[in-house]
Structure 1
Amino acid sequence: MHSLADATPQIALGALDGRYRPAIAPLIDHLSEPALNRMRVHVEVEWLIHLTTHRVVPGVRALTEDEQRQLRQVVEDFGPEDIAELAATEKVTQHDVKAVEYFLKQHLSRIAPDAQDAGLAELIHFCCTSEDINNLAYALMVQGAVEQVWLPRADDLATSVAAMAEDLRDVPLLAHTHGQPATPTTMGKELAVLAHRLLRQVRRIAADEYLGKLNGATGTYGAHVAAVPEANWPQISRDFVEHLGLTWNPLTTQIESHDWQAEVYADIARFNRVLHNLCTDLWSYISMGYFAQVRGQGTVGSSTMPHKVNPIRFENAEANLEVSNALLDVLATTLVQSRLQRDLTDSSMQRNIGTALGHSLLALDNATRGLAGLDAVPEAMAADLDANWEVLGEPIQSVMRALGARGVEGMDEPYERLKELTRGRRIGQPELVEFVRGLGLPADVEERVAAMTPQTYIGLAPSLVDTVRDSR
């Protein structure tokens, strides 16, 4: 049998780089292996510019504005040729960050070719351990992926749920607690609960910090002090990290502790779990007939049953959310651990960040498309309400309790009396009205309660939808 591994172009092993690539493509610029190398080049370039601009090393000239521009252009123009060059260099060095250092030295020799400037190249990767570059590169990569790609999609989805909640704020819905008919609500209010939860997680994630460090092989600035003892290295480190747009971590071992990563991934995983709840609820509402899925989109619901339109978007989202959370959870628990001053488990683990966020982004794409394909069916919701008049047992016994507390006679054992009327049997409007008329309620209360229907027993549900709008 012919091996598919030999096919050209190469066949993707994973679904994200295969059938789902269009949905997750924006993450490639942030979390792929070439994106990591480009960000390493960026950090190294900015460190060189920082050192020379601030004359950290005595006797070394500052780079001109044009030289700085050309160095930064290396990052801007980073493409296929650079990827190939770095790969070839890494085959020789057997070290990815060292390959970046040599790559930049070659570029600097062309930008500043004068013999007297040859020593400038030694300030590339000056006093740095690989983790000084990697931790900053990963922080910038994850920050970009979350803030520029994932977070806008998450916010858009949550906003769409909030808009749907507003549209359906007044549509009565039979609630189901423990799978049983329960106190009516509105579809809008139930969607508003999920929108509120999603938006709260969005706000948490938007406020997350991205930390970075630059302090040498064991976090002591040992090489820095040995090379330039008069410099204020903690301040130089802080200024540089903050210049990159990150929060400075002042105290680490060789590695940045990755606690911030655990926090971000835990927050995204929590958002994923709320979104999973949304998907399962919508799936259930579709199965009850409360939502119809838009037809005529050229999709095949079933290979054998022509009538079917399956809720595949929500099912696909569920599966990808579960894969994403499995990875996010292991990232969050593993990255905060490191033996003594350094081990390499984090190096391998961090290469899965793109996959973790990719499955979440794919779920967002599917859930968003699923939402866009739904039409509410108020008639189906009304039919279920009409078939469950017994849910009015709750307000009637609550009215009786309130009257009994005020001393009105004949209001004893309200719960038990409604239990006898409603439990284990279906009743309709006639039976309920007859029961209410025989209670001896004050006339105004009797008329109000007798006029109640499952559709009108929705409390403050419509106005509660405003909570979502007010919290944004």
Structure 2
Amino acid sequence: MDFLKRIGLKPEDLDKEPTPEDLGQMHSFTPQQGRYAKHTYQLSDITSEYQWAKKRLMMEVEYLIALGNEFQNYYGRRERLIENPFSETQKAALRSLYENFSPVDFKNFSTMDNKTHHDIVATILLSLYKMHKTGDIVDPDLMQRSMHVGRTSDDINSNVFSLMLSDILAKYWLPSYLGLSEMFIEKAEDWHEVPEGYERPFTVVAGQTHEQYAVPIPIKKIASNIVAQMEEGLAPFLVKESESYGPFRFTGKMGGAVGNDSAMHAAYPGHEWRSFYRKFIEDLGLEYKETSDQNESNMRILQFFEHVINANDPLLKWGDDYSSYLSRKMLKKKVGKGSKGSSIMPQKINPWRTEGAEFFLYEANAELAVYHLLARQRKQGSLQRSAARRYIGIPFSNIVIAIARIGEDLKKTFPDYEGIEKELLEHPEIASASAQMILRAGGVPDAYDRMVELTKGKQVTPEIIGGVVDEMVSVREITPEIGKDVRGIFIHENNVGDALEIACRDLRSARETNERLREVYHLDV
């Protein structure tokens, strides 16, 4: 079977029984959980329904424990709801409700949810059921009387959502983005180096503006520009805190049904509940947001989404440029055995991963833009937010799929030195901007017009340009020194200005920023 051999396969590689993972992917409703599952599986530990149920339970338990402590500070006219703080044994038993959360627990939660049609009510019932099975470590009547007291559902769900976004940022999106940044930094250095025997000291290419040949540019500068843009995209995720940096923090709230906290003040008037809420929210790792309706304003979340959309722009730019660089033969892509660019055109080597990545990024941007509805909830609350929150894994999975696809192409990409040299030889006019400036400095007032007449819309050669310069020297219009400088600027590596200095600075800065982000978010990328 030569047709298999040609693509690197053997008959024994085929006709194998599908694994459970294979079956799951082939019947998946979405490509995110099917074809691209290897890039998205981590989200199951962050945004799945299982994690929603577990984190809601965690919020309810931690609120109950904190409330037990807070009532020791209550000296009002009403009896304390919880007379004594929970003991260490009781706290451990309560926390075991979510720390040992199992698939059976989730099934029980779903059964209760299907009856109550309310996720928070089902969460409370599940906690009572689980604690009942453990015996009398915590008084069941006390739990039933005290759990969720004074709270609205969104005091739980909005904080769970903020915690999920914190995990998406620190554990999923940021590591992927930093990994791609590091790859571009590595490529900037690798592409700069030239192979043995190559005439130029570093890789310089013909830069373009408006899709027209413009000015020489080191390939290192092209890559470092992308790196610098990515660094700017990451800047909002390093928050200056006095002498150091901290992470981007999401907000949390405990304002009750419409933000007034009326229920708690009615039951226990005169107590300073907001100080308690602040400590509780900050202990979760969130920033306390005192002002809210049923849900808080969500402006911090929208800022996060906007930052992510902005950070996608350098990747979209690269995707747009990459196809052009390949078609110009400035870059080339190494293809594996058996890889085909077309079913009809044998010569094709397509940038299919990067082109597909552009779609995923545009799709994610559009999806994240829809989340403005979180800040536009009807009156004091709306359950549009519930559907929106459950969907959050989709846009971020699209972004990480795109990052992975760009990275896969980037790994296989390197300079096409033959194509680069051919393009440079065919377009000596890219030195005309600097040449006319040297002539101006040498006393030629109409230098720009001379270069326009010589190069605009014309096919010129180094010999033609050299002849014009020699003529100007012979008639003493310019000095031999100026003539030599003009000739030298047509050696393109002599005509890159501060490009290499800027590129090195930008790469160094990006490395420092990436390292700082790793420290702040406790990453090992």
Query: Do they superpose with TM above 0.5?
Result: yes
Q: 1:323 to 1:229 in 2, by over 3 A?
A: same
Offset at residue 115 of structure 1 (A): 8.3
- Asked if the contact 1:385–1:454 (Cα under 8 Å) also holds between the matched residues in 2, the reply is no
User: For the residues of structure 1 that align with 2:491 and 2:206, how far apart are their CA atoms?
Assistant: 8
Pairs within 5 Å for 1:240-389:
240-331=280-371, 333-389=372-428
- Asked if the contact 1:202–1:271 (Cα under 8 Å) also holds between the matched residues in 2, the reply is yes
Structure 2 residue aligned with 1:172: 204
User: For the residues of structure 2 that align with 1:382 and 1:461, how far apart are their CA atoms?
Assistant: 19
- Asked if the contact 2:184–2:224 (Cα under 8 Å) also holds between the matched residues in 1, the reply is yes
User: For the residues of structure 1 that align with 2:169 and 2:338, how far apart are their CA atoms?
Assistant: 33
User: For the residues of structure 2 that align with 1:72 and 1:387, how far apart are their CA atoms?
Assistant: 72
Offset at residue 343 of structure 1 (A): 1.6
Structure 1 residue aligned with 2:196: none
Offset at residue 362 of structure 1 (A): 0.8
Structure 1 residue aligned with 2:216: 184
Q: 1:22 to 1:115 in 2, by over 3 A?
A: closer
Equivalent position to 1:458, from 467, 492, 496: 496
Equivalent position to 2:463, from 419, 430, 438: 430
Structure 2 residue aligned with 1:200: 232
- Asked if the contact 2:236–2:307 (Cα under 8 Å) also holds between the matched residues in 1, the reply is yes
Letter in 1 for 2:464: E
- Asked if the contact 1:40–1:137 (Cα under 8 Å) also holds between the matched residues in 2, the reply is yes
- Asked if the contact 1:41–1:75 (Cα under 8 Å) also holds between the matched residues in 2, the reply is yes
User: For the residues of structure 2 that align with 1:67 and 1:466, how far apart are their CA atoms?
Assistant: 58
Letter in 2 for 1:47: Y
Deviations 1:88-116 (A, max 9, x none): 00011111111111111222334461685
User: For the residues of structure 1 that align with 2:137 and 2:417, how far apart are their CA atoms?
Assistant: 78
1:400 and 2:400 matched: no
Structure 2 residue aligned with 1:417: 450
Offset at residue 444 of structure 1 (A): 2.2
User: For the residues of structure 2 that align with 1:401 and 1:222, how far apart are their CA atoms?
Assistant: 77
Larger CA deviation: 314-323 vs 290-299: 290-299
Deviations 1:135-166 (A, max 9, x none): 10000001101111110110110121122122
Equivalent position to 2:168, from 145, 154, 165: 145
- Asked if the contact 2:298–2:374 (Cα under 8 Å) also holds between the matched residues in 1, the reply is yes
Larger CA deviation: 66-75 vs 91-100: 66-75
User: For the residues of structure 1 that align with 2:261 and 2:385, how far apart are their CA atoms?
Assistant: 22
Deviations 1:49-77 (A, max 9, x none): 11113335625222222332233233233
User: How many residues matched?
Assistant: 458
- Asked if the contact 1:205–1:268 (Cα under 8 Å) also holds between the matched residues in 2, the reply is no
Question: Secondary structure at 2:375's aligned position in 1?
Answer: coil
1:66 and 2:82 matched: no
User: For the residues of structure 2 that align with 1:117 and 1:70, how far apart are their CA atoms?
Assistant: 12
Offset at residue 375 of structure 1 (A): 1.9
Offset at residue 230 of structure 1 (A): 4.0
- Asked if the contact 1:67–1:112 (Cα under 8 Å) also holds between the matched residues in 2, the reply is no
- Asked if the contact 2:191–2:414 (Cα under 8 Å) also holds between the matched residues in 1, the reply is no
Question: Secondary structure at 2:332's aligned position in 1?
Answer: strand
User: For the residues of structure 1 that align with 2:416 and 2:138, how far apart are their CA atoms?
Assistant: 78
Identity of aligned residues (%): 26
User: For the residues of structure 1 that align with 2:85 and 2:133, how far apart are their CA atoms?
Assistant: 17
Deviations 1:330-374 (A, max 9, x none): 11x222112221122222222221111111111111111111111
User: For the residues of structure 2 that align with 1:104 and 1:297, how far apart are their CA atoms?
Assistant: 56
Deviations 1:270-306 (A, max 9, x none): 1112211111212211121222212225433222333
What's the TM-score once normalised by structure 1's chain length? 0.92
Q: 1:112 to 1:445 in 2, by over 3 A?
A: farther
Q: 1:115 to 1:308 in 2, by over 3 A?
A: closer
Structure 2 residue aligned with 1:226: 266
Question: Secondary structure at 1:425's aligned position in 2?
Answer: coil
Offset at residue 378 of structure 1 (A): 2.4
What's the TM-score once normalised by structure 2's chain length? 0.83
Structure 2 residue aligned with 1:34: 50
Structure 1 residue aligned with 2:9: none
Q: 1:61 to 1:230 in 2, by over 3 A?
A: same
Pairs within 5 Å for 1:35-54:
35-54=51-70
User: For the residues of structure 2 that align with 1:200 and 1:385, how far apart are their CA atoms?
Assistant: 32
Q: 1:117 to 1:86 in 2, by over 3 A?
A: closer
Q: 1:140 to 1:116 in 2, by over 3 A?
A: closer
Q: 1:142 to 1:116 in 2, by over 3 A?
A: closer
Question: Secondary structure at 1:436's aligned position in 2?
Answer: helix
User: For the residues of structure 1 that align with 2:122 and 2:427, how far apart are their CA atoms?
Assistant: 71
Question: Secondary structure at 2:188's aligned position in 1?
Answer: helix
Deviations 1:384-425 (A, max 9, x none): 011101122211211122233xxxxxx121111111111121
Equivalent position to 2:136, from 113, 124, 142: 113
Pairs within 5 Å for 1:64-143:
64-111=87-134, 113=136, 118-143=141-166
